[in-house]
Each structure stands twice: as structure tokens, then as C-alpha cells.
Chains A and B, each alone.
Chain A
Amino acid sequence: GNSVTQMEGPVTLSEEAFLTINCTYTATGYPSLFWYVQYPGEGLQLLLKATKADDKGSNKGFEATYRKETTSFHLEKGSVQVSDSAVYFCALTVNTGNQFYFGTGTSLTVIP
């Protein structure tokens, strides 16, 4: 089937620290991969995406590379800010499907 597994949280980092949030997936078709972010009290919004192997999605200093050989799409940021505190969701769609599949979310808190 189709599923996404992401690292358990919560994650607490100091400002300017390096961030990695792991995400791996299984898919029956050819997946497109997404990272969504949810700020407190809000709905999810797209952070970045990648649609084929070796593509790198990037936005707001965040990056993730579509690794087909390891079925992974890890989220990274070189220097986090307090404003990055949020819940991050890894997700996928498949070219033969009609829905999005989400991981359980990873809560990030950045402290000054």
C-alpha cells in the first residue's frame, strides 16, 4: 500500500541549529512527495515538493531530496529560527491514486 513514516517528535532545537526530520515512504505507484507545515492554530500549507527521483524541493531555507533508492524524503534546514516552530508533515500522492497520504507529523520547537 501507500504510507509515510516520519520521525517521532517532539524536536526541540536552539536557534541557528541544524534541522533534520526523517521521512520514508512506501508506494504502489510512482509517488510525488511533499512536506507540509502547520503553524499553531492554522491549517496545513505546502512547504515544498518533489515529483521525481533526485529532485530537490526547496523553500524558505528548507530542502528535501527525493531518494528513490532509499525511499526517503528527509527535510533539512541549515539554521532554524524561532519562527520555524511548527508541526511538519511528510506526504505523498501516487500517479494512479486519488488521495494524499500523510505521516503522523513532527512537532518542532525552536528556542532562542
Chain B
Amino acid sequence: DAGITQSPRHKVTETGTPVTLRCHQTENHRYMYWYRQDPGHGLRLIHYSYGVKDTDKGEVSDGYSVSRSKTEDFLLTLESATSSQTSVYFCAISEEVSENTEAFFGQGTRLTVV
């Protein structure tokens, strides 16, 4: 199994509070991704990173920010959580994006905003 650890695995938070989710990898892969998974929508890309301090937005980036100060860590921050951000969040990594690689996924973080 690829070395990807997401923390926390479960979190309940109140509307309006900041929340940070962490993804840690031990594979030294260049690319890291944050997805959210919701019924009827599948996986939607929030943000991704293609190197230290290099990040870009995905299709559902509003309300989220990310940071990558080290190769192994990719943080997702909800500045002010809303109920619409209740979801399961997955981190993924890949060595590169090509025919020869695959994305490896973490176990997911279930976030509930009340």
C-alpha cells in the first residue's frame, strides 16, 4: 500500500469555524490532490499541487485553500466551514500524470459541519 495518511479520519465541527485536514505521504510523489466525494457527484477535485509551493484550483475550490510547504504534506483548510462542506475528503498522490502512473488514495476524512 502507498504510504498516505490522512488526519483526522473523522471530525465534527461547527459552522463558521476553521478546519484543517492533513495529508501526509512517504512516497516522495510530486503530485498531491484533494477531492471531495458526495452522493450523486462522485469525486470532485478541490485543489492539487505539482510541487512544493505549487498549487492550482480544481473544479470546486471556493471556500477552500491549500498549502504545501514540504513534499510530504498537503494541507486543506476550510477558512469558515459551512454545512455544504459536509463531505468525505480524499487525498491522492501520483508520481507524475502519464500513462505509466496511477493515483493512490488515502482512507478519507469524514467531515461533518453542524
A interface residues, Cβ below 8 angstroms from B: 32, 34, 36, 42-46, 49, 51-52, 89, 91, 93, 95, 97-100, 102-105
- Closest Cβ of chain B: how far from A7's Cβ, in Å? 12
Given contacts A43-B92, A100-B92, A103-B42, 14 further A-B contacts (CB under 8 A): A44-B43, A44-B92, A46-B102, A49-B102, A52-B99, A89-B43, A93-B98, A93-B99, A95-B98, A98-B48, A98-B97, A100-B94, A102-B42, A102-B43
A residues less than 8 Å from B56 (CB atoms): 98
A43→B99 contact, CB < 8 A? no
Can you show 6 pairs from A to B with CB atoms below 8 A apart?
Answer: A44-B90, A51-B100, A89-B43, A97-B97, A99-B58, A103-B42
Q: Is A99 a contact partner of B102 (Cβ separation < 8 A)?
A: no
Query: Which of B12-20, B67-75, B76-84, B104-112 contacts its partner?
Result: B104-112
Chain A residues with CB under 8 Å of B41's CB are: 104
Total contacts A to B, CB within 8 angstroms?
Answer: 59
Q: Which of B48, B99, B105 contacts A45 (CB 8 A)?
A: B105
A42 to B90, CA, bound (A): 10
CB pair B102 A34 closer than 8 Å: yes
Shortest C-beta distance, A35 to chain B (Å), equals 11
Q: Nearest chain-A residue to B45 (Cβ)?
A: A99
Q: How far is the CA of A2 from the CA of B58 in the complex (A)?
A: 13
Bound Cα distance A104, B45 (Å):
12
Report yes or no: B43 in contact with A51, Cβ–Cβ below 8 A.
no
B-side contacts of A93, CB under 8 Å: 97-99
By a CB distance below 8 angstroms, the chain A residues around B40 are 104
Known contacts A43-B106, A89-B42, A104-B42, A99 near B98 by CB under 8 Å: no
Nearest CB of A to B73, in Å: 18
A105 near B31 (CB under 8 angstroms)? no
Which chain B residue has the least Cβ–Cβ distance from A50?
Answer: B99
Query: B100 contacts which chain A residues (CB < 8 A)?
Result: 51
**Pick the contact of B90 from A43, A98, A104 — CB < 8 Å?**
A43
**Residues of chain A with a CB closer than 8 A to B42's CB:** 89, 102-105
